[in-house]
Amino acid sequence: FYDEAEARKYTQNSRVVEIQSQMSERAVELLGLPEDRPCLLLDVGCGSGLSGDYISEEGHYWIGMDISPAMLDVAVEREVEGDLLLADVGHGIPFRPGTFDGCISISAVQWLCNADKKSHSPPKRLYRFFSTLYTALARGSRAVLQLYPENSEQLELITAQAMRAGFTGGMVVDYPNSAKAKKFFLCLFVGTSGILPKGLGTECASEEQHQAKFTNERTRFRNVKGKSVKKSRDWILEKKERRRRQGKEVRADTKYTGRKRRPHF
């Protein structure tokens, strides 16, 4: 959580404002909104309303959700045009079915992978978020979630829970070969299988292969039920690793992990 001073400092940092504006612009572009009418958008992890400012500039309406009271206080001080809701999105999106024409999120969703309390289960919190978001979005709309994944396992976990909740789509990676400019956007479709937009800076073949790699991993996660074969060594190691990430005590891996015992007569 940010305190009041940190929230103001963050919001007044010109570099932060510039980056937030660029990512918001890209996220709204990926939503593919109709140009002939204003839309109602949900901004998940809206913070002090920097991404909401861009939505307002584009002529759309928005509702922002954030877990930080300090950030929302700054948003109120700044007199942002959107409505604000103090809430933990890990508990779900509390809106009627079909309320929103789209959803964006800038640098927020990866925090659902953290187990900040003993009761927190990242997979359950992610599934609760995605399943209620799916319901709150109108059919044929999109959600575009920019995130900073710690590793490929986190990326898989987030994407798998989104697909499990009913979304189609996948990861759009802008500038995949650049350490600084590389950005991940999870582009999700509601009720329709749209064509996944191309990432910026992916003109050369090697970069396109990089994107395909994420697609393959997603398909494996979603479609191949039980393979890694249940109770196999790989399956056990994956399960132990998931429990470690959740902060649970797990026995160390050894050469005996997953070894079949002989039957006793």
The pLDDT assigned to 191 comes to 86
Taking the C-alpha atoms of residue 50 and residue 23, their distance in angstroms, rounded to an integer, is: 10
Residues with pLDDT less than 70, the chain: 1-5, 7, 10-11, 116-119, 203-230, 246, 261-265
The pLDDT assigned to 15 comes to 83
CA atoms within 13 A on the CB side of 211: 26
Residue 54: count other Cβ atoms within 10 Å of its Cβ. Answer: 23
The pLDDT assigned to 161 comes to 96
Flag whether the pTM goes above 0.85.
no
CATH 3.40.50.150 region(s) of the chain? 4-190
Taking the C-alpha atoms of residue 163 and residue 101, their distance in angstroms, rounded to an integer, is: 19
CATH fold of 4-190 reads Rossmann fold (3.40.50)
The pLDDT assigned to 255 comes to 78
The pLDDT assigned to 263 comes to 66
Q: Find the DSSP H helices in 78-204.
A: 122-136, 152-164
Consecutive H or E run containing 166: none
